[in-house]
Chains A and B, each alone.
Chain A
Amino acid sequence: MSTTSGVATGEFAQGTPPLDPGGRRKSLHDGSGRRATLLIAPTIVLLAIVILYPVISAVTQSFTKDAGLDPATGLFVEGGFAGLSNYKLWLLQDCGSGAFSCPPGTLGSQFWTATGVTFFFTVVAVSLETLLGFVFALVMHRDFKGRGILRASVLVPWAIPTAVTAKLWYFIFAYDGIANKVLGTNILWTGDGFAPKAAIIIADTWKTAPFMALLILAGLQVIDGSVYEAAKMDGATAWQRFRFITLPLVRPALMVAVLFRTLDTLRMYDLPKILTGGAGNTSTLSMLVVDQVRSGFNAASALSTLTFLIVFAVAFIFIKFLGANVTEQRAPKTTKAA
């Protein structure tokens, strides 16, 4: 938690100037700092209890040995310092007797497979969603009658709970289901091989491409139409207008949308859990953590921490190197009293 905010604030420090350019201008309210503290405190306290405390306790536990764990109270200590052994279990698949000593089938042997498939889902699904979302947004941005119907149908996949989405696609991808009938195939969509991966990606893309489209559409709508008119006067082709006006101007909104979808896909749990149950190596990192929780808190804590670090690293790369300026997009401007 603290690390996350560290990155974000680092970005604030070097990116946009402090939120309020009117710092010179005295606030109308005296003592607004104290009032702000009071108003903000409940949020921060709640987040600290539910996020900061668990993270600290998970990190502490990840360096604790299993031995002294009292199953009755679940309290730690006694076990003593474990060094990196809980991390070695996952990173080196070291179940106690050197690297790669975890027998196949144990959770310890699955870390890299799970990481790989999680990133595979993220890269493929987010790419597809961005591409489709962009096409959808370009269509929705055009002038036509019946916007309401389109907007409502785009919101339907968003409104269906992921658990229901998973069951719905489980039915569509059933052996006797409509997918095989329409395609004229006999694929075991929730069995082995590539099919279960495709099933998860299709279901995820179906659910979130429309959401992506809405975010990109919002970015398209703030582009001043006169820019296009001017480019047209100067003889720019449709492609040139897209390439040199639409793309650069929609990029900030697009990057933020991609960042949030990426982080969402990295922590994907409901969909693969219910749709394939991990069949055909579709167990994501989140599923691995949940599987481990009941077989040892300390190893699970190390795995939680690793998952957190992976997500954090990806967010960091996005914000630092790919120019996802989250703060500029999201930070509100202080309304000035007239």
Chain B
Amino acid sequence: MATTTSTRNRTVTSSGVEVVQRRNVPAAVLTYAGVVLICLWGLLPFYWMIVTSFRDVGYTFDTTPWPTHTTLENYATAFSTARGNHFGAALLHSLVIGAVTTVVGLVVGVFTAYALARLEFRGKFYVLGVILGASMFPGVALVTPLFQLFTNLGWLNTYQALIIPNISFVLPLTVYTLTAFFTEMPWELEESARMDGCTPGQAFVKVILPLAAPGIFTTAILAFTAAWNEFLLASQLGGDKVQPVTVAIATFAGAQPHQEPYTAVMAAGTIVTVPLIIMVLVFQRRIVSGLTAGGVKS
């Protein structure tokens, strides 16, 4: 461990202690080598997906590390419905499923998180236990009973069949993340709002919610990502009418039955990933704090 590792040490540095001088060059070089390696780890496979997505299909297995034989044709192929792929529709389905899941998960989660962070009541630990247990629950154990239940209800291949289980998957995540955020809020403000004659509801809506907006927004990103990435239940309970992008990409058909349309799939993968990557770039600090505060599912 070098001396200059944590924020604390940096404070010491700025207040004039000799830490900076003691920082040795080989250690710094080693650190940067590690940083570069970690960046490559995260970015190389992603970079390869993008490069391939712009490469002419005839040069699918070209190994030139930079873009060659560039074309936009793969993106056209990805959206083409000629081979029975409905990627465009799947994007829409995923947006609907993700948006509804996020909104409902947040609205329900906000109330529970408020109660957990703010109210004192008996059985709080039991509630936490139930929610935690739900987050550990293997989704596959639900496939059989839900498949049967939704068959009986005639719900297979409907939005509700995908959205309702998704809500229960993101709820533990939203409750935990929001509770962590709420715990850190300046609750004195709520008290003073109450003193000024607000009802608890008014105090919550007028004072707490605006202050909690960043935390709620972060939680929304995490919930949406989770719903956007869901594959197992969508592949079993969904169908052509509600097929989300994850299933569309997994089952993407090529020109011939056993010929994988790699470049088109990479283009579709890039389209699905880029919005998430942009969110990551813009909100990275918040996402990390949200993930480590209560993110339980990757």
Chain B's nearest CB lies how many Å from the CB of A213? 8
CB-CB under 8 A for A308 and B35, given A167-B265, A332-B179: no
Mark the stretch among B66-74, B80-88, B133-141 that contacts chain A.
Answer: B133-141
Cβ contact within 8 Å between B134 and A335: no
Q: Any chain A CB within 8 A of the CB of B217?
A: no
Task: Give the contacting residue for B38; candidates A46, A153, A159, A327; CB below 8 A.
Answer: A153
Chain B binding surface, main DSSP class: helix
Q: Is B242 in contact with chain A by the CB < 8 A criterion?
A: no
Q: How distant is the Cα of A299 from the Cα of B49 in the complex, in angstroms?
A: 40
List, in ascending order, chain A residues with CB within 8 A of B168's CB: 46-47, 49-51
Interface contact B117-A269, CB-CB below 8 Å: no
Taking the complex as formed, is B240 at the interface, i.e. its CB lies under 8 A from any CB of chain A? no
Determine whether the beta carbon of B10 is less than 8 Å from that of A143.
Answer: yes
Contact of A35 among B183, B200, B284 (CB under 8 A): B200
Closest chain-B Cβ to A205's Cβ sits at a distance in Å of 10
Cβ of A177 and Cβ of B61 under 8 Å apart? Answer: yes
A51 to B166, CA, bound (A): 11
What is B's interface to A at a CB cutoff of 8 Å? 1-10, 12, 23, 28, 31-32, 34-35, 38-39, 41-43, 45-46, 48-49, 52, 60-61, 63, 108-109, 111-112, 114-122, 124-134, 136-149, 151-152, 164-165, 167-168, 171, 175-176, 179-180, 182-185, 187-188, 190-191, 200, 225, 228-229, 231-232, 235-236, 245-247, 249-250, 252, 260, 262, 265-266, 269, 272-273, 276-277, 279-281, 284-285, 287-288, 291-292, 294, 296-298
Bound: A333/B183 CA distance, A: 7
| A248 close to B (CB within 8 Å) | no
| Nearest-Cβ distance from residue A291 to partner chain B, whole angstroms | 11
- Chain A residues 202 to 230 lying within 8 A of chain B, measured CB to CB, are 206-211, 213-215, 217-218, 221, 223-226, 228
A166 / chain B contacts, CB cutoff of 8 Å: 250
Docked CA distance A232–B42 (Å): 34
Number of interface residues, chain A, beta carbon within 8 A: 138
- Across the interface, which residues of A come within 8 angstroms of B60, CB to CB? 176
The smallest beta-carbon distance between B183 and chain A, in angstroms, is 4
Of the candidates B10, B35, B184, B231, which one forms a contact with A139 in the assembled complex, judged by CB atoms under 8 Å apart? Answer: B35
25 A-B pairs whose Cβ atoms sit less than 8 Å apart in the complex: A4-B130, A4-B137, A6-B129, A12-B128, A19-B124, A40-B115, A44-B127, A46-B168, A139-B34, A143-B9, A156-B46, A161-B231, A161-B273, A164-B249, A167-B249, A167-B250, A171-B265, A213-B38, A225-B5, A266-B138, A270-B231, A289-B144, A304-B144, A330-B176, A330-B294
Chain A contacts of B45 at CB under 8 A? 157, 168-169, 172, 206
- What residues of chain A lie closer than 8 Å to B284, measured between beta carbons? 148, 151-152, 155
Say which residue of A37, A46, A163 sits within 8 Å of B121 (CB atoms): A37
Consensus secondary structure, chain A interface = helix
Cβ B138 vs Cβ A307 within 8 A: yes
Q: Is the CB of A39 within 8 A of B41?
A: no
Q: Would A156 and B43 count as touching, CB distance under 8 A?
A: yes
Among the 9-residue stretches A23-31, A103-111, A120-128, the one with 4 or more Cβ atoms under 8 Å from chain B is A23-31
Asked whether B112 lies within 8 Å of A139 as measured between CB atoms, the reply is: no
Contacting pair A159 B117 (CB below 8 A): no
